[in-house]
């Protein structure tokens, strides 16, 4: 059940992030392509809601799944990579809202988008590695 919830939440975070990027960077807005697409704020709210759920899920994973796998020394490379990517996504998401410096915010934005876009690949790597161990 936990795994199924993880996939739904991760899919929601990923899809809403991709939709926001498409709206923000991919569609011309206004006469000169300026301004904010009318759906951007709503999609960002959805993304934020999924991100909060992902944070709660991450906390539950650390206390159960991660602790158990760490003690057993299972799937460490992909698990550490998934954990590091998650931690960097949390940090860059935080900096997008609370960094007082525009250059820090700009760098955080790029890093957040790249990590978010690559996140499913890290998750697939981790899940496939775990399934290989089971078989």
Residues 28-41 have pLDDT tens digits of 565 555 678 889 99
- Output the pLDDT for position 109: 95
pLDDT classification of 69: cutoffs 50, 70, 90: confident
Taking the C-alpha atoms of residue 96 and residue 106, their distance in angstroms, rounded to an integer, is: 8
Taking the C-alpha atoms of residue 72 and residue 87, their distance in angstroms, rounded to an integer, is: 22
- Output the pLDDT for position 33: 58
Taking the C-alpha atoms of residue 38 and residue 24, their distance in angstroms, rounded to an integer, is: 10
pLDDT, average across residues 3-21: 93
- The DSSP secondary-structure symbol of 74 reads -
- Output the pLDDT for position 30: 52
- Output the pLDDT for position 8: 95
pLDDT, average across residues 15-44: 82
Q: Where are the alpha helices (DSSP H) in the chain?
A: 2-21, 40-61, 67-72, 76-98, 102-134
User: Percent of the chain scored above 90 by pLDDT?
Assistant: 60
Residue 51 has pLDDT above 90, yes or no: yes
| Predicted TM-score of the model (pTM) | 0.86
- Output the pLDDT for position 130: 81
């Amino acid at each position: 059940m936990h795994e199924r919830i993880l996939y739904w939440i991760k899919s929601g975070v990923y899809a809403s992030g991709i939709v926001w990027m498409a709206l923000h960077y991919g569609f011309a807005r206004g006469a000169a392509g300026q301004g904010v697409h009318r759906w951007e704020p709503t999609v960002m709210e959805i993304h934020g809601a999924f991100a909060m759920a992902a944070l709660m899920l991450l906390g539950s994973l650390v206390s159960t799944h991660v602790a158990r796998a760490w003690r057993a020394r299972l799937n460490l490379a992909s698990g550490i990579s998934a954990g590091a990517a998650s931690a960097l996504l949390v940090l860059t998401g935080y900096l997008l809202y609370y960094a007082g410096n525009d250059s820090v915010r700009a760098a955080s934005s790029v890093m957040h988008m790249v990590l978010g876009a690559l996140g499913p690949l890290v998750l697939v790597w981790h899940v496939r590695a775990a399934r290989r161990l089971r078989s």
